A and B are shown apart, each in its own frame.
Chain A
Amino acid sequence: MAIDEKMLEQILNKYPAKVKRNRKKHIVIRDIEKGAQEIEANTRTIPGIITNRGCAFAGCKGVVVGPLKDMVHIVHGPVGCAYYSWGTRRNKAKSENPKENFLNYCFSTDMQESDIVFGGEKKLAKMIDEVVEIFHPKAISVSATCPVGLIGDDLVAVAKAAEKRHGIQVLAFNCEGYKGVSQSAGHHIANNILMEKVIGAGNLEEAPSKYSINILGEYNIGGDSWEIERVLKDIGYHVVTVMTGDGSYEELKNAHIAELNLVQCHRSINYIAEMLEIKYGTPWLKVNFIGIENTIKSLRNMAQYFGDPELIQKTEEVIARETARIEPVMAQYKKICEGKTAFCFVGGSRGHHYQGLFAELGVETILAGYEFAHRDDYEGRDIIPEIKSDADSKNIPDLHVTPDQRRYRLKISDEKMAELKKRIPLGNYKGMISDMKDGHVIVDDLNHFETEEFIKILKPDIFASGIKDKYVVQKMGIPSKQLHSYDYSGPYAGFNGAVKFAEDISMAFTSPTWNFITPPWKNKPLLDGKIVDEEAS
């Protein structure tokens, strides 16, 4: 069943008039004839509408900074924010020395009333001292929660003084929850500080291999980046650092030496990608390692960038080997999934990335959207000059970098760059909308009310989203697939990940659980019987 403007109108009519006008701009029904379609995004959340969006703190500490394994991440504030961001994202990490992996810990200054009144700087300073004494981390991050900014604690000054005392970097992130309109603000804040203070702080001047790359915006949920790295290493790439899944502070410092930056999650990390290009001359390539075809395409594009026949050949060999191995398995799962429909509403990139993988299994994504994306994630980067900055986005300062005089090096010639840009998404992302079919719905910042209404009309077979809407959907009798934490499964990226994903959603479709929803006394009598004609018998 498709949806048209009239039905959309009916859904929105249940809102107060002002809310209706606002929400209408965030919903687009794809109409290819219309050409480029505009969608509103990255604007303020409507109060009282149950959104899935988080805050700047969540984007900064929770998403970008938190996964760096060899740092201790201190949350400065009352206990809640630290507690709720404690191991909840399933960003996996392993260290050669287990004593240098602090991801299992949750550190909070646990501010009390007196700290709010008299300030929490001293407590924070003492806590940093204790952390250094107990854990000897290579670096420390301090993330601010709402009250910190309001009472005027000077995180930067505390961090600076602590750096002097201990001789290690202490990074201060002023990512108070009220900044910006969603976690997107926190990504930006984190990007700025990592770029300013960490990247380039390493001593390496030259890449250890011709094919040295960074993977940006990959958070190793359920082991995704391990699967991606397996394939890349097989082909012959050297991964300098992953930002930031299974990432380390030590490696991040040398991110400047890479020959190419791959961007997986565009939303959360495009700032660093751009700045790396300006400062060190390293181009970035938009990749998507979710789904077999997209993985193959990304690998081929990388090979194109380096243009080395040997690398191209090795890439093809690995692709051939991997596909030969997994295609028969995928074909089996496709039999189960074929013809089904999905909603795909996740974060800032996965809402788009997973559509390809769904399609390979014969599942059509009929509604998709992002929680906290900007217009360019929907409409493509070409739209960026047209995006007007508002008061909220202006509150997050842009970091302006200039070419590094010593380290800037053009990685490929301007002509080659221009030529490549025609063929591969070098420095470009075309966004979600252009990949969606006619009649499909794109919704920005989908909320609980709309979730239910769209489900009632479009009746998807599976709903891919997060834990907050998981139970709403399941209560409506529809299987859900968590694409934030993968329901304790994964990896879903790369070749092996595609198989795991196919297995997981096939399990959802074939689970006998759903067959028992209607009790037998509701639709048919428990005992079949008929009146037997006595004489005939």
Chain B
Amino acid sequence: MKNKVVNLRNVSQNPCSMCMPLGGIIPFKGLEQSMVILHGSQGCSTYMRRFMAEHFNEPIDVGSSALNEKGTVYGGEENLKKGLDNILKVYNPKLIGILTTCLAETIGEDIDRISLEYLQEREMEDFPLVTVPTPAYSDSHTEGYFLAVKRIITRLAQKSEKNEKVNIIIPNISPADIREIKRILEGMEIAYTLLPDFSETMDAPFTNNFGKLPNGGTKLGDIRNMPGAKATIELGITVEDHLSPGKYLENSFGVPLYRLPLPIGLENTDKFILTLKTISGKEVPEMFRKERGRLQDCMIDSHKYNAQGIAVVFGEPELVYAVTKTCLENGIKPKVLATGSKNFKSGQLFGEESSNLKVLTETDFVHIRQVCKEMDVNLAIGNSEGKYLTEKEGIPLVRIGFPIHDRVGGQRILSVGYQGTIMFLDRITNTLLEYKLSNYRSSMYQKYFQGIDVK
């Protein structure tokens, strides 16, 4: 494709993605009373706990089979089984996820066999152990996330009676976003199973009785009955078919699948609401009409300011798509799109519009920075790593996505639905205004008193 920018360097310098098991952990944090263990060196789980704690500001418990040199030679089976024993005893979870790491994959550990054998040995065949092969060298955290969701459904879902529920599969968004999606569903009076629901577990209210496993999360019984649902809405149009949980439910159980973009932006939210209306046959309540009207008002209020924005949008593919659409419908020019993942088919997604976009996949921030300079970008929208664009190029950053580790409140950033879009758009406009106001006098002075032509 013409506009796809190719990176000819070998150096990955300041990467734009994290590793596959990290993404795989997140869905397990959105299941009720669930634990997860990484099969590999303990450093992996320590690093990822540390990293996720910084974003969510919550306790992140991830076990490790703590393999050492001996394990690399003789296999890590014994360690993994011991680890499962200990997690069961101390945490008493209803489900355990087993993710692999580079180490386990490279030495060829067969976690399916080990987990099957384990359950037989312990005479607990019904216990859900969900295995997810996540070698970091094969894909990024985005793919790890969806593969984990798919494997959870594959393990739990069973042929079930038809019911009135709608399955909602969500990508890696903030707990606040999940709560907003649930509010919309409840506002439409739609019964649903949302997976994975880490809205409470990863943004838990303070209570006086803190438990080892947080409250909340998608109920396992609900996941079992997902095949009986009326339909599946997968907020993931960038997800490859082989990773798509919705596709699995459609192919294996015939659940009709609606693949929609994340409801960020007016059109994307319209699509979501309209689909809910179509599936349920229910009318859209007045409340949402008002919210939509306020969003329109917000868009009109800001449109002249927004027209000056030339943006780079980076992060996970699904978010990049939704944010880019939001920029487009508000007159902000998204010139550079960047993701650390391989899977971003911008041509299909944007149609004609795509010829105006520079698209970087599997990229790093050094490359992003270089292209931003070429394209005169004046606004960055994405996760905390974009701080380098601010530090080096003075491009202001609107924080959204994962990870947010240099500010508090990554778990509380709300951007979906009409209401979330209003807040998101205001953040963008105000960033542009702040930039403009802080440079206004000096640029006027330079232009009219010194005669220097500045951009």
Contact = CB atoms under 8 A, between A and B. Distances in A.
Interface of A: 14-16, 19, 44-58, 77-86, 88, 104-113, 115-116, 123, 126-127, 130-131, 134, 145-147, 149-151, 176-183, 391-392, 395, 448-449, 452, 466-472, 475-477, 517-518
Contacts of A107: 11-13
Contacts of B212: 448-449, 452
A84 B15 CA distance: 11
A85 to B, nearest CB: 7
Interface string B24-67: 00000000000001001111101111110110011111111111
A84 to B, nearest CB: 4
Given A50-B61, A79-B18, A105-B14, A44 B47 contact: no
Interface residues on B, range: 35 or more
A55 B65 CA distance: 13
A467 B112 CA distance: 33
A82 B72 contact: no
Interface string B62-94: 111111111110000001101111110110000
A55 B15 contact: no
A466 B391 CA distance: 27
Given A80-B47, A106-B13, A517-B206, A475 B41 contact: no
A467 B51 CA distance: 9
A54 B102 contact: no
Given A178-B69, A471-B59, A80 B44 contact: yes
A150 B68 contact: no
B147 interface: no
Contact of B14 (A106, A448, A477): A106
A520 to B, nearest CB: 14
Contacts of B208: 477, 517-518
Nearest to B340: A79
A84 B59 contact: no
A261 to B, nearest CB: 29
Nearest to B391: A104
A507 to B, nearest CB: 16
Contact of B40 (A15, A146, A179): A146
Given A178-B71, A471-B58, A51 B14 contact: no
Contact of A47 (B15, B18, B83): B83
Interface string B196-218: 00000000101010101000000
Contacts of A177: 40-44, 103
Given A52-B46, A113-B138, A150-B72, 10 more contacts: A14-B89, A51-B42, A53-B42, A55-B43, A58-B43, A82-B12, A116-B135, A178-B71, A448-B61, A472-B210
A92 to B, nearest CB: 15
Contacts of B65: 47-48
A444 to B, nearest CB: 15
Contact of A46 (B20, B51, B82): B82
Contacts of B11: 107, 127, 130-131, 134
Given A44-B66, A108-B12, A113 B135 contact: yes
28 contacts: A45-B66, A46-B82, A47-B80, A48-B63, A54-B46, A77-B137, A78-B135, A78-B136, A79-B15, A80-B136, A85-B47, A88-B50, A104-B391, A106-B14, A109-B10, A110-B15, A112-B138, A113-B135, A146-B41, A147-B102, A147-B103, A147-B106, A182-B42, A183-B43, A448-B61, A448-B212, A468-B50, A471-B53
